[in-house]
């Protein structure tokens, strides 16, 4: 029986995680739940799973410190996942990580501390879970010399084929993802492809591979979740119908695979799977993330903070859709860069990024 602590239990990932636990009552139990403000929903879950409930801005970190668990699922939004992830590492608890901003902002720091403590960071994001699954052959999954390249697939989001002019895109249009039902921040990030840029950084740290050996290919059907090309020219991929319960369950059960009643792949019904190169002129966020990664230090922490504010300002009607990438690029350019070796430096970079992003004018 694996005891799981779920941070962000009422969100899209948290809800799927509860489903996975419900369908495997003799394999998993919920040791505790943390949310920010959805107290009633969280208390109902607490009663159902007989688990302590933590609410409030610092709930996630308190939950880690006060709960005994074998695995912590970090699935809050943005930098709120960082302090609880570091607290879990400090306590020696393995982490199933959904909140990609943790590695975008502080990958170097988090991975160094996890390595020092012997803590495993297991991916939940479907693309990273796919890569993780392709690397399960006993040779280890971090810093392998036989990996030539990682290939992340991207659905392309709602604006892959139009409209030609993205400046008039509304929040409702950006929130209407063709394949995945997710929280608002990650849905808007998917539409701008900032999400895919973040995933390059996430993969860079999870698998300890330089960002210039991580490519992106657009695959609108979202069936191939990502691929690993090996040094001998062989490429492995993981395929399944789009359903976040698959990678969440694997993060919980790894290295075992547990049975589950789920929709299976029907290849003849699919008939064809398509792939194309991403359009970095139409979606400049991919390039902006790669530039920030090259600059190193805390530039990516400022980038993550700027994106959070940019998405919030867009959803509030304050800036246009195309301003999201302009704002983020301007903030990354202006933000000072510190070494990514302490929580303090990450928080300084985050605060600077937020301030610049709030002040940015179109
Ligand atoms: N959704 C997906 O399919 C998907 C796929 C891959 C990766 N991810 C990543 O997973 C993370 C979560 O995404 P999501 O779509 O599940 O988000 P979401 O639906 O917006 O849910 C966020 C959850 O986190 C909680 N939360 C927010 N701030 C918190 C804090 N300070 N302390 C404790 N709990 C807090 C929220 O509680 P309240 O309801 O009380 O605010 C809610 O339960 C994101 O980083 C996203 O990029 C998501």
| pLDDT value for 93 | 98
**Ligand 1, from 5, 11, 14: best to mutate by most atoms within 8 Å of Cβ?**
11
Among 119, 144, 173, where does a domain finish? 119
Tell me whether residue 186 is in a domain: yes
8 CA → ligand 1 middle, Å: 5
- Look at the alpha carbons of 299, 301, 304, 308 in this order and tell me if their dihedral is positive or negative: negative
Q: Indicate whether 127 belongs to any domain.
A: no
> Is 37 in the same domain as 87?
yes
Index of the ligand 1 atom closest to the CA of residue 14: 16
* Residues 321-335 pLDDT 10s: 999 999 999 999 999
- 91: containing domain: 2-119
**Which residue's alpha carbon is nearest to atom 5 within ligand 1?**
125
- The CATH code of the domain that includes 316 is 1.10.1740.10
pLDDT in tens, 99-134: 999 999 999 999 999 999 999 999 999 999 999 999
In a domain, residue 97? The reply is: yes
- pLDDT tens track for 14-66: 999 999 999 999 999 999 999 999 999 999 999 999 999 999 999 999 999 99
What's the pLDDT tens digit per position in 339-356?
999 999 999 999 999 999
Q: How far is the CA of 66 from the centre of ligand 1 (A)?
A: 21
Does residue 188 sit within a domain? Answer: yes
Instruction: Dump pLDDT digits (tens) for 21-34.
Output: 999 999 999 999 99
In the chain, % of residues over pLDDT 70:
100
Residues 15 and 115 in one domain: yes
First CA to last CA distance, the chain: 53
For the Cβ of 123 lying below 6 angstroms from any atom of ligand 1, the answer is: no
Domain boundary residue among 70, 95, 119? 119
User: Which pLDDT score, from 0 to 100, does residue 177 have?
Assistant: 86
Residue 240 falls inside a structural domain: no
The CATH code of the domain that includes 64 is 3.40.50.720
User: Does residue 96 sit in the same domain as residue 14?
Assistant: yes
Residues 15 and 97 in one domain: yes
On whether the CB atoms of residues 70 and 93 are closer than 8 A, the answer is yes
Ligand 1: atom nearest CA of 39 is 40
Q: If pLDDT is split at 50, 70 and 90, which confidence band does 216 have?
A: very high
Asked whether 304 lines ligand 1 (CB < 6 A), one says no
| Residue 51 in contact with ligand 1 by CB distance below 6 A | no
**Residue at 14 is within a domain:** yes
Query: In terms of domains, do 63 and 170 share one?
Result: no
Instruction: Report long-range pairs for 11-16 (Cβ below 8 Å, ≥24 apart).
Output: 11/75, 11/76, 11/77, 11/183, 12/181, 12/182, 12/183, 12/244, 13/73, 13/75, 13/98, 13/124, 13/183, 13/244, 13/248, 14/73, 14/75, 16/244, 16/245, 16/248
Q: Tell me, in angstroms, the distance from the centre of ligand 1 to residue 164's CA.
A: 31
CA distance 244 to 260: 13
In a domain, 250, yes or no: no
Split into its structural domains, the chain has a count of: 2
83 & 176 share domain: no
- 164 and 111 in one domain? no
Residue 145 has pLDDT above 90, yes or no: yes
Q: Are residues 42 and 181 in the same domain?
A: no
Q: Assess whether 185 and 93 both reside in one domain.
A: no
Domain assignment present for 210: no
Both 111 and 11 in one domain: the answer is yes
Shortest-distance Cα residue to atom 30 of ligand 1 = 36
Q: Report the C-alpha dihedral over residues 313, 317, 322, 323, rounded to 10 degrees.
A: -40
């Amino acid at each position: 029986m694996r005891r799981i602590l779920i941070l962000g239990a009422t969100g899209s990932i948290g809800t799927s995680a509860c489903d996975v636990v419900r369908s495997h009552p003799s394999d998993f139990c919920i040791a505790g739940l943390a949310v920010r403000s959805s107290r009633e929903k969280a208390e109902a879950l607490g009663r159902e799973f007989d688990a302590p409930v933590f609410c409030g801005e610092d709930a996630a970190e308190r939950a880690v410190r006060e709960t005994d668990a074998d695995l912590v699922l970090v699935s809050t939004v943005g930098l709120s996942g960082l302090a609880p992830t570091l607290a879990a590492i400090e306590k020696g608890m393995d982490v199933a990580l959904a909140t990609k901003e943790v590695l975008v902002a502080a990958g170097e720091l988090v991975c160094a501390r996890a390595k020092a403590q012997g803590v495993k960071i297991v991916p939940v994001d479907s693309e990273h879970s796919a890569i993780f699954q392709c690397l399960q052959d006993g040779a280890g999954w971090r810093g392998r010399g036989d990996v030539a390249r990682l290939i992340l697939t991207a659905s392309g989001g709602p604006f892959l084929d139009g409209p030609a002019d993205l400046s008039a895109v509304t929040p409702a249009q950006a929130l209407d993802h063709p394949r995945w039902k997710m929280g608002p921040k990650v849905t808007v990030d998917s539409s701008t492809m900032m999400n895919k840029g973040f995933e390059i950084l996430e993969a860079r740290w999870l698998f300890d591979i330089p960002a210039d050996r991580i490519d992106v290919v657009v695959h609108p059907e979202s069936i191939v979740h990502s691929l690993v090309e090996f040094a001998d020219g062989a490429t492995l991929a993981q395929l399944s119908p789009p359903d976040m319960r698959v990678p969440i369950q694997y993060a919980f059960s790894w290295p075992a695979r547990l049975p589950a009643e789920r929709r299976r792949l029907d290849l003849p019904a699919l008939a064809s799977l398509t792939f194309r190169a991403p359009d970095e002129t139409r979606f400049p966020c991919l390039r902006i993330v790669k530039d920030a990664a090259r600059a190193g230090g805390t530039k990516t922490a400022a980038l993550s903070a700027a994106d959070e504010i940019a998405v919030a300002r867009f959803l509030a009607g304050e800036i246009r859709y195309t301003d999201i990438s302009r704002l983020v690029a301007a903030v990354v350019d202006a933000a000072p860069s510190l070494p990514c070796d302490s929580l303090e430096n990450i928080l300084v970079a985050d605060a600077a990024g937020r301030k610049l992003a709030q002040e940015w004018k179109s």
